[in-house]
Structure 1
Amino acid sequence: MSMNRTTTDVPASRKVILVTGASSGIGEAVAARLVREGHQVVAGARRTDRLAALAERTAQTAARSGGGLHPVRVDVTDRDDVGAFVEDARDRFGRVDVLVSNAGVMPLSRLDALLVEEWDRMIDVNVRGLLHGIAAALPVFTAQGGGHFVTVASIGAHEVVPTAAVYCGTKYAAWAITDGLRQECDPSIRVTTISPGVVASELADSITDPGAAQAMQTYRAHAIDPDAIAGALSYALAQPADVDVNEIVVRPVRQR
Structure 2
Amino acid sequence: MRKAVLVTGASSGVGLALCKRLLEEDHELHLCLACRNRSKAEAVRAALLASHPLAEVSIVQVDVSDLQSVFRASQELRQRFQRLDYVYLNAGIMPNPQLNIKALFSGLFSRKVIHMFSTAEGLLTQEDQITADGLQEVFETNVFGHFILIQELAPLLCHSDSPSQLIWTSSRNARKSNFCLEDIQHSRGQEPYSSSKYAVDLLSVAVNRNFNSRVWLFHQKPESLNPLTKYLSATTGFGSNYVMTQKMDLDEDTAEKFYQNLLELEKHVRATIQKRNHQS
Q: Please give the TM-score of this superposition, normalised by the length of structure 1.
A: 0.63
Match status 1:126 vs 2:142: yes
Higher helix share: 1
Which of 98, 114, 129 matches 1:117?
A: 129
2:181 counterpart SS class: helix
Which of 155, 163, 167 matches 1:150?
A: 167
Q: Is the 8 A contact 2:4 2:86 kept in 1?
A: yes
Q: Distance in 1 between matches of 2:223 and 2:160?
A: 17
Q: Distance in 2 between matches of 1:125 and 1:48?
A: 18
1:117 counterpart SS class: coil
Q: Is the 8 A contact 1:101 1:151 kept in 2?
A: yes
Q: Is the 8 A contact 2:95 2:128 kept in 1?
A: no
- 1:191 — aligned with what? 202
Q: Is the 8 A contact 1:62 1:69 kept in 2?
A: no
- 1:249 — aligned with what? 232
Q: Whose Rg is larger?
A: 2
Match status 1:172 vs 2:172: no
Provide Cα deviations, 1:193-228, integer angstroms capped at 9, x if missing partner.
Answer: 33333x3xxxxxxxxxxxxxxxxxxxxxxxxxxxx4
- 2:181 — aligned with what? 181
The unaligned stretches of length 5 or more in structure 2 are: 99-121, 185-193, 238-280
1:181 counterpart SS class: coil
- 2:3 — aligned with what? 15
Q: Distance in 1 between matches of 2:32 and 2:168?
A: 16
Q: Please give the TM-score of this superposition, normalised by the length of structure 2.
A: 0.58
Match status 1:104 vs 2:92: yes
| Matches for 1:205-244 after TM superposition, within 5 Å | 228-229=210-211, 231-240=212-221, 242-244=223-225
> Residues 253 and 87 from structure 1, CA distance in 2 versus in 1: closer, same or farther, beyond 3 angstroms?
farther
In the TM superposition, residue 173 of structure 1 has moved relative to its aligned partner by 1.3
Q: Distance in 2 between matches of 1:80 and 1:142?
A: 23
Q: Distance in 2 between matches of 1:196 and 1:109?
A: 21
Aligned length: 193
In the TM superposition, residue 48 of structure 1 has moved relative to its aligned partner by 1.6
- 1:70 — aligned with what? 58
RMSD: 3.0
Letter in 1 for 2:168: T
Q: Is the 8 A contact 1:45 1:75 kept in 2?
A: yes
2:158 counterpart SS class: helix
Structure 1 vs Structure 2: percent identity of aligned residues? 21
Deviates more, 1:119-128 or 1:21-30: 119-128
Deviates more, 1:186-195 or 1:92-101: 186-195
- 2:76 — aligned with what? 88
Which of 36, 60, 65 matches 2:50?
A: 60
Letter in 2 for 1:250: S
